[in-house]
Chain A
């Protein structure tokens, strides 16, 4: 590639992921939980896109839907040139090595009855024709890469701490030389002192292997550290996508602003001086989102138009997309 601008490795257009609600005696389809409702973004080669939001906003569902761990309801997902939702089962299997995932809970995502070597080797068994010795050599190489002692290759997951288990999960994700990794809350289950170890590892690997990350997290200060650009989600939709520094310095969407102001900082002198925006009430149900802007029930800056017309995500400033009537003069 000789282009000055690296081209997007991942392009998501109008992604929708609805989960049907069945009710009544006949289990009739009576509605949908709109977990992801019309989400579009792209991730450039070698870039880390942070995806933040509170529980239930649909951020994990986005990660799972683009890797087709769920069958998306609608929309287009192009990863490294292929339209993922359209792939046949066999073609999808062949595509899997390119796109991998690191899960939140290393306890639940590692088979307790397999040894570390078995866990890391499984993708190699499934997708390569390497010999037994070659596979073992690759397993050792991966263990070195993520900082696990080779001597522990025949141990079981229970013998490892949370941070080490997360390293096993990362080694497994790396086994097939992927280009794109979805990291779904990879540090949420870890203690503070261990979080930094795992994040440093992810950054080192990115630099060495040229990986592209979708980093899903609710930890806004960690996302500021690791991400190049950040998408803020609320109730199944993207409120704002901005380059990291721009977002943290001056969030444009009122939700992004409130979210950032709510994060407590470990600095008593700063904490005393901060103006905190306290949002009223709770997040509405994604089965029954409000009319108009989905943030209108809690927005401190709500206007009459917000309760009527849904704002579209459009470019507010170069490189910054925002879905808000305050920022975007409404069309017509």
Chain B
């Protein structure tokens, strides 16, 4: 990991609220992170933890109303995307930031050929002529391992299998050499043997192209295999963040620990009974005034229920640089409130 290099993407204090007639949902609360060049940042969390909404907020993909990205900064090479005008944002999406979504069937247009969908960003963003774009499209399909690329340009999405469609999505996302690739549960809809193929492809592409990747998933196994750093989200906040080996090896947050314990192992000794996390994820109807995990946490004490913990470094490095956690319990007890 190139330490000290200037981050390609920096997010500070991001807040997103959905305002509907039946109330508010504080989906993203003060989320900050940075993405360094060439790095793969894994974002894990359960449904409703805010991981997808965070990434959609970055590049203005949420319908507004009801969504309101009401705070924070998103810096891509010095410009704040949250302040950018819609046409500026359009120049960023698909060109400097590429996306791969979970379901390749619904994110490809069924009535256009795969070729025309790969060529679209090339013609729009790079101003390529048709033959240029076509040559590049063939190159891209070959890059993502689709055999017989020139012929396949004329195929429609339904003529591809799920894994092949996801390869096409990756080709489209990579078309304009983005600085950042955001992949939202890209292998969740795929079978494990096909998922293994896609993970292998992503590892290969990283070596060849060196772009920075944000990989959103609920599968801790996938993260363990490909990520450099991991950010664990819970209740719209960052619970823990750090290098993947440290977070998995010495998890600090009770949620991360519980999550790792709750998954049965594929090898080694079999656990007698699974360590379930009792209770349900929180309903985020108001800005948090307590730790969102307090109600399910085995270690929660009074302070957890009255004060939302701030992130703090656990290895002496500033928040975001090394391994950090947002938890009162793992925090060294402040002397004035040694025991609340």
- Chain A residues with CB under 8 Å of chain B are 54-55, 161, 163, 191-197, 199-200, 203, 218, 220-222, 224-225, 248, 258-271, 276, 278-279, 282-283
CB neighbors of A among B244-261 (8 A): 244-245, 248-249, 258-260
**Chain B residues with CB under 8 A of A54:** 191-194
B281 on interface, CB distance cutoff 8 Å: yes
- Assess the B193–A262 pair: CB atoms within 8 A: yes
- Assess the B266–A263 pair: CB atoms within 8 A: yes
Stretch from B95-103, B124-132, B148-156, B219-227 at the A interface: B219-227
The distance from the CB of A192 to the nearest CB of chain B, in whole angstroms, is 6
A196-B262 CB under 8 A given contacts A224-B270, A282-B163, A282-B194 = yes
Closest B residue, CB atoms, query A298: B193
Closest B residue, CB atoms, query A272: B225
The distance from the CB of B263 to the nearest CB of chain A, in whole angstroms, is 6
The 8 Å CB contact of A222, one of B164, B223, B264, is B264
- Assess the B262–A268 pair: CB atoms within 8 A: no
- Assess the B220–A266 pair: CB atoms within 8 A: yes
The 8 Å CB contact of B193, one of A163, A195, A279, is A279
Residues 39-55 of B, flagged 1 when their CB comes within 8 A of A and 0 if not, give: 00000001100000000
The distance from the CB of A36 to the nearest CB of chain B, in whole angstroms, is 18
The 8 Å CB contact of B265, one of A203, A265, A282, is A265
Q: Enumerate the 10 nearest inter-chain pairs by beta-carbon distance, A residue then B residue, closest first.
A: A264-B221, A266-B220, A225-B264, A196-B276, A54-B191, A196-B274, A262-B196, A193-B277, A191-B46, A271-B225
- Give Cα A92 to B10, complex, Å: 63
B273 on interface, CB distance cutoff 8 Å: yes
Listed A/B pairs (15) with beta-carbon separation below 8 Å: A194-B280, A196-B274, A203-B273, A220-B266, A224-B265, A224-B266, A261-B196, A264-B195, A265-B265, A268-B245, A271-B221, A271-B224, A276-B196, A278-B197, A279-B196
B218 on interface, CB distance cutoff 8 Å: yes
- Assess the B193–A259 pair: CB atoms within 8 A: yes
Closest B residue, CB atoms, query A264: B221
A196-B277 CB under 8 A given contacts A222-B264, A225-B271 = yes
- Give Cα A263 to B220, complex, Å: 11
- Assess the B224–A268 pair: CB atoms within 8 A: yes
- Assess the B263–A259 pair: CB atoms within 8 A: no
- Assess the B193–A258 pair: CB atoms within 8 A: yes
Besides A276-B196, A278-B197, 18 new A-B residue pairs in contact (Cβ under 8 A), listed by A number: A193-B46, A193-B258, A193-B277, A196-B276, A196-B277, A200-B273, A220-B266, A221-B266, A224-B265, A225-B270, A260-B266, A262-B192, A264-B225, A266-B224, A268-B244, A268-B245, A268-B249, A279-B196
Of B219, B223, B249, B262, the most chain A CB neighbours within 10 A belong to B262
- Assess the A220–B192 pair: CB atoms within 8 A: yes
**Chain B residues with CB under 8 A of A222:** 264
Residues 270-287 of B, flagged 1 when their CB comes within 8 A of A and 0 if not, give: 110111111011000000
The 8 Å CB contact of A268, one of B164, B248, B259, B264, is B248
B161 on interface, CB distance cutoff 8 Å: yes
The 8 Å CB contact of A218, one of B46, B192, B258, B259, is B192
The distance from the CB of A76 to the nearest CB of chain B, in whole angstroms, is 30
**Chain B residues with CB under 8 A of A259:** 192-193
A265-B249 CB under 8 A given contacts A191-B218, A192-B46, A279-B197 = no
- Give Cα A278 to B164, complex, Å: 15
The distance from the CB of A207 to the nearest CB of chain B, in whole angstroms, is 11
- Give Cα A194 to B161, complex, Å: 31
- Give Cα A258 to B193, complex, Å: 7
Of A161, A267, A283, the most chain B CB neighbours within 10 A belong to A267
- Assess the B276–A200 pair: CB atoms within 8 A: yes
Closest A residue, CB atoms, query B147: A281
- Assess the B221–A263 pair: CB atoms within 8 A: yes
- Assess the B192–A161 pair: CB atoms within 8 A: no
**Chain A residues with CB under 8 A of B244:** 268
Of B199, B262, B266, B280, the most chain A CB neighbours within 10 A belong to B266
- Assess the A266–B263 pair: CB atoms within 8 A: yes
**Chain B residues with CB under 8 A of A55:** 191
**Chain A residues with CB under 8 A of B224:** 264-268, 270-271
The distance from the CB of A120 to the nearest CB of chain B, in whole angstroms, is 21
- Assess the A265–B266 pair: CB atoms within 8 A: yes
- Give Cα A54 to B194, complex, Å: 10
Closest B residue, CB atoms, query A276: B196
A195-B194 CB under 8 A given contacts A264-B199, A264-B222, A269-B245 = no
The distance from the CB of A17 to the nearest CB of chain B, in whole angstroms, is 21
The distance from the CB of A130 to the nearest CB of chain B, in whole angstroms, is 33
CB neighbors of A among B180-233 (8 A): 191-197, 199-200, 218-225
**Chain B residues with CB under 8 A of A278:** 193, 196-197, 200
- Assess the A197–B245 pair: CB atoms within 8 A: no
Closest B residue, CB atoms, query A244: B270
Residues 85-112 of B, flagged 1 when their CB comes within 8 A of A and 0 if not, give: 0000000000000000000000000000
**Chain B residues with CB under 8 A of A271:** 221, 224-225
B267 on interface, CB distance cutoff 8 Å: yes
The distance from the CB of B45 to the nearest CB of chain A, in whole angstroms, is 9
**Chain B residues with CB under 8 A of A195:** 262
- Assess the A266–B248 pair: CB atoms within 8 A: yes
The distance from the CB of A257 to the nearest CB of chain B, in whole angstroms, is 11
A161-B280 CB under 8 A given contacts A224-B270, A248-B267, A268-B249 = yes
Closest A residue, CB atoms, query B273: A200
The distance from the CB of B190 to the nearest CB of chain A, in whole angstroms, is 9
The distance from the CB of B285 to the nearest CB of chain A, in whole angstroms, is 15
**Chain A residues with CB under 8 A of B259:** 192-193
- Give Cα A253 to B200, complex, Å: 23
- Assess the B248–A221 pair: CB atoms within 8 A: no
